[in-house]
Amino acid sequence: MTSIINYQRPLDKINFNSSNVTSSLIMCAMIATPSMPLSASENLESLTGTAYQAQDSSSSVNDYFSKQSTYYIELLHTLQEIQKLPDNWNDNDASQFSSELISEAKAFISNSIDIAQHLSVFPTANNSIQVEWELLNGLYCEAEIFEDSIEIYAEKNDEELIHESFNNIKESTDRFIGIYNS
Protein backbone atom coordinates (compact mmCIF):
# COMPACT_ATOMS: atom_id res chain seq x y z
CA MET A 1 0.00 0.00 0.00
CA THR A 2 1.35 3.42 -0.91
CA SER A 3 1.92 5.71 2.04
CA ILE A 4 1.23 9.38 1.57
CA ILE A 5 3.64 11.84 3.09
CA ASN A 6 1.82 14.34 5.28
CA TYR A 7 3.55 17.66 5.17
CA GLN A 8 3.34 19.19 8.66
CA ARG A 9 4.41 22.80 8.11
CA PRO A 10 1.58 25.38 7.99
CA LEU A 11 1.06 26.78 4.49
CA ASP A 12 1.50 30.38 5.67
CA LYS A 13 5.19 29.67 6.34
CA ILE A 14 5.87 28.62 2.73
CA ASN A 15 7.10 31.32 0.35
CA PHE A 16 4.99 30.72 -2.77
CA ASN A 17 7.03 33.30 -4.69
CA SER A 18 9.87 30.81 -4.92
CA SER A 19 9.81 28.87 -8.19
CA ASN A 20 11.46 25.90 -6.44
CA VAL A 21 8.66 25.63 -3.89
CA THR A 22 5.99 26.02 -6.54
CA SER A 23 7.52 23.34 -8.77
CA SER A 24 7.93 21.02 -5.78
CA LEU A 25 4.28 21.49 -4.83
CA ILE A 26 3.30 20.74 -8.43
CA MET A 27 5.41 17.58 -8.30
CA CYS A 28 3.70 16.58 -5.02
CA ALA A 29 0.33 16.97 -6.72
CA MET A 30 1.52 14.91 -9.70
CA ILE A 31 2.57 12.08 -7.39
CA ALA A 32 -0.61 12.24 -5.34
CA THR A 33 -2.88 12.22 -8.41
CA PRO A 34 -1.12 10.64 -11.39
CA SER A 35 -2.99 11.30 -14.61
CA MET A 36 -1.86 8.03 -16.20
CA PRO A 37 -3.78 5.10 -14.71
CA LEU A 38 -1.50 2.57 -13.09
CA SER A 39 -1.60 -0.97 -14.38
CA ALA A 40 -2.12 -3.89 -12.03
CA SER A 41 1.63 -4.50 -11.90
CA GLU A 42 2.54 -0.87 -11.14
CA ASN A 43 2.23 1.12 -7.98
CA LEU A 44 3.20 4.67 -7.20
CA GLU A 45 6.69 3.72 -6.06
CA SER A 46 7.41 1.84 -9.28
CA LEU A 47 6.23 4.84 -11.31
CA THR A 48 8.29 7.41 -9.44
CA GLY A 49 11.18 5.26 -8.23
CA THR A 50 13.16 7.38 -5.82
CA ALA A 51 11.17 10.52 -6.58
CA TYR A 52 10.32 11.22 -2.98
CA GLN A 53 11.76 10.38 0.36
CA ALA A 54 10.30 10.78 3.83
CA GLN A 55 11.85 13.54 5.87
CA ASP A 56 11.19 14.76 9.39
CA SER A 57 8.46 17.39 9.78
CA SER A 58 10.97 20.24 10.08
CA SER A 59 12.25 19.72 6.51
CA SER A 60 11.32 22.09 3.73
CA VAL A 61 9.17 20.98 0.79
CA ASN A 62 12.25 21.08 -1.45
CA ASP A 63 13.97 18.45 0.72
CA TYR A 64 11.42 15.86 -0.42
CA PHE A 65 12.85 15.82 -3.92
CA SER A 66 16.33 15.39 -5.28
CA LYS A 67 17.10 17.47 -8.36
CA GLN A 68 17.29 14.33 -10.52
CA SER A 69 13.96 13.06 -9.20
CA THR A 70 12.20 16.31 -10.05
CA TYR A 71 13.43 16.09 -13.64
CA TYR A 72 12.57 12.39 -13.70
CA ILE A 73 8.95 13.15 -12.79
CA GLU A 74 8.81 15.78 -15.54
CA LEU A 75 10.05 13.17 -18.03
CA LEU A 76 7.39 10.70 -16.84
CA HIS A 77 4.78 13.42 -17.33
CA THR A 78 6.04 13.90 -20.90
CA LEU A 79 5.64 10.15 -21.49
CA GLN A 80 2.07 10.39 -20.17
CA GLU A 81 1.37 13.11 -22.72
CA ILE A 82 2.97 11.05 -25.50
CA GLN A 83 0.81 8.06 -24.54
CA LYS A 84 -2.31 10.23 -24.98
CA LEU A 85 -1.45 11.07 -28.61
CA PRO A 86 -4.07 9.58 -30.97
CA ASP A 87 -3.48 7.88 -34.31
CA ASN A 88 -2.39 10.45 -36.91
CA TRP A 89 -1.06 12.74 -34.15
CA ASN A 90 1.38 14.35 -36.60
CA ASP A 91 -1.15 14.67 -39.46
CA ASN A 92 1.04 12.26 -41.42
CA ASP A 93 -0.49 8.90 -40.41
CA ALA A 94 1.75 8.27 -37.37
CA SER A 95 0.40 5.56 -35.08
CA GLN A 96 -0.64 5.92 -31.47
CA PHE A 97 2.06 4.74 -29.03
CA SER A 98 1.56 1.35 -27.40
CA SER A 99 1.66 0.83 -23.67
CA GLU A 100 4.58 -1.59 -24.24
CA LEU A 101 6.61 1.16 -25.89
CA ILE A 102 5.76 3.61 -23.10
CA SER A 103 6.88 0.97 -20.55
CA GLU A 104 10.19 0.50 -22.40
CA ALA A 105 10.74 4.27 -22.41
CA LYS A 106 9.90 4.47 -18.66
CA ALA A 107 12.42 1.73 -17.94
CA PHE A 108 15.08 3.46 -20.03
CA ILE A 109 14.51 6.81 -18.31
CA SER A 110 14.38 5.15 -14.89
CA ASN A 111 17.81 3.61 -15.52
CA SER A 112 19.08 7.02 -16.69
CA ILE A 113 17.86 9.00 -13.66
CA ASP A 114 21.42 10.12 -12.77
CA ILE A 115 21.41 12.38 -15.84
CA ALA A 116 17.66 13.10 -15.91
CA GLN A 117 18.17 16.85 -15.71
CA HIS A 118 19.90 16.77 -19.11
CA LEU A 119 17.36 14.57 -20.91
CA SER A 120 14.66 15.50 -23.39
CA VAL A 121 11.93 13.12 -24.57
CA PHE A 122 10.13 13.27 -27.94
CA PRO A 123 7.70 11.14 -29.91
CA THR A 124 8.82 10.19 -33.41
CA ALA A 125 6.91 9.27 -36.54
CA ASN A 126 8.89 5.98 -36.60
CA ASN A 127 6.67 4.60 -33.81
CA SER A 128 9.47 5.17 -31.35
CA ILE A 129 10.32 7.50 -28.50
CA GLN A 130 13.54 9.47 -28.60
CA VAL A 131 15.50 10.35 -25.46
CA GLU A 132 18.42 12.71 -25.99
CA TRP A 133 20.94 15.00 -24.34
CA GLU A 134 23.44 17.55 -25.61
CA LEU A 135 26.43 19.06 -23.85
CA LEU A 136 28.08 22.43 -24.42
CA ASN A 137 31.28 20.71 -25.61
CA GLY A 138 29.50 19.62 -28.82
CA LEU A 139 28.70 16.08 -27.62
CA TYR A 140 25.20 14.89 -28.53
CA CYS A 141 23.60 11.52 -27.85
CA GLU A 142 20.18 10.07 -28.56
CA ALA A 143 18.43 6.82 -27.83
CA GLU A 144 15.58 5.84 -30.11
CA ILE A 145 13.43 3.42 -28.18
CA PHE A 146 11.32 0.86 -30.04
CA GLU A 147 9.24 -1.93 -28.51
CA ASP A 148 11.92 -4.52 -29.28
CA SER A 149 15.19 -2.57 -29.54
CA ILE A 150 17.02 0.63 -28.68
CA GLU A 151 19.26 2.48 -31.11
CA ILE A 152 22.01 4.63 -29.57
CA TYR A 153 23.59 7.33 -31.70
CA ALA A 154 26.25 9.81 -30.58
CA GLU A 155 28.24 12.51 -32.31
CA LYS A 156 30.71 15.19 -31.37
CA ASN A 157 30.97 18.37 -33.43
CA ASP A 158 28.85 16.75 -36.18
CA GLU A 159 31.14 13.71 -36.43
CA GLU A 160 29.50 10.34 -35.72
CA LEU A 161 31.03 8.52 -32.75
CA ILE A 162 28.63 5.66 -32.12
CA HIS A 163 25.64 4.05 -33.80
CA GLU A 164 24.69 0.83 -32.00
CA SER A 165 21.59 -1.30 -31.48
CA PHE A 166 20.61 -3.00 -28.20
CA ASN A 167 17.90 -5.43 -27.15
CA ASN A 168 18.50 -4.92 -23.44
CA ILE A 169 17.50 -1.85 -21.38
CA LYS A 170 20.40 -2.19 -18.92
CA GLU A 171 23.06 -2.49 -21.63
CA SER A 172 21.62 0.41 -23.61
CA THR A 173 21.34 2.75 -20.62
CA ASP A 174 24.84 1.80 -19.44
CA ARG A 175 26.13 2.79 -22.89
CA PHE A 176 23.98 5.96 -22.97
CA ILE A 177 25.22 7.12 -19.55
CA GLY A 178 28.77 5.95 -20.33
CA ILE A 179 28.89 8.28 -23.33
CA TYR A 180 27.63 11.14 -21.13
CA ASN A 181 30.33 10.43 -18.52
CA SER A 182 33.17 10.10 -21.06
Closest CA to 129 of 172, 91, 70, 159: 172
Q: What is the Rg, in whole angstroms, of the alpha carbon atoms belonging to the chain?
A: 18
Which residues lie closer than 8 Å to 180 by C-beta, 6 or more apart? 115, 118, 133, 135, 141
| pLDDT confidence band for 72 (50 / 70 / 90) | confident
Q: Same domain, yes or no, for 84 and 147?
A: yes
Specify the higher pLDDT residue, 47 or 85: 85
Q: Same domain, yes or no, for 146 and 98?
A: yes
pTM across the whole model: 0.64
Q: Which of 14, 41, 65 is the last residue of a domain?
A: 65
Q: Please count the structural domains in the chain.
A: 2
Which residues lie closer than 8 Å to 176 by C-beta, 6 or more apart? 108, 112, 131, 141, 143, 152
Burial 118-127 (b: 16+ CB within 10 A, else e): ebebebeeee
Q: Same domain, yes or no, for 105 and 162?
A: yes
| pLDDT confidence band for 22 (50 / 70 / 90) | very low
The pLDDT tens digits of the residues spanning 131-159 come to: 999 998 999 999 999 999 999 999 999 99
SS3 of residue 43 by DSSP: coil
Q: Same domain, yes or no, for 83 and 41?
A: no
Closest CA to 79 of 26, 129, 37: 129
Q: Same domain, yes or no, for 60 and 46?
A: yes
Q: Same domain, yes or no, for 96 and 167?
A: yes
| pLDDT confidence band for 56 (50 / 70 / 90) | very low
Q: Same domain, yes or no, for 138 and 75?
A: yes
Domain of 152, in residue numbers: 67-182
SS3 of residue 160 by DSSP: strand
The pLDDT tens digits of the residues spanning 109-133 come to: 999 988 988 999 999 999 999 999 9
Q: Same domain, yes or no, for 161 and 109?
A: yes
Question: What are the φ/ψ torsions at residue 54 (nearest 5 degrees)?
Answer: -70, 140
Total residue count of the chain as it appears in this document: 182
Q: Same domain, yes or no, for 14 and 47?
A: yes
Q: Same domain, yes or no, for 4 and 53?
A: yes
Q: Same domain, yes or no, for 116 and 55?
A: no
Spatial distance between the Cα atoms of 83 and 98, rounded to a whole number of angstroms = 7
Q: Same domain, yes or no, for 60 and 75?
A: no
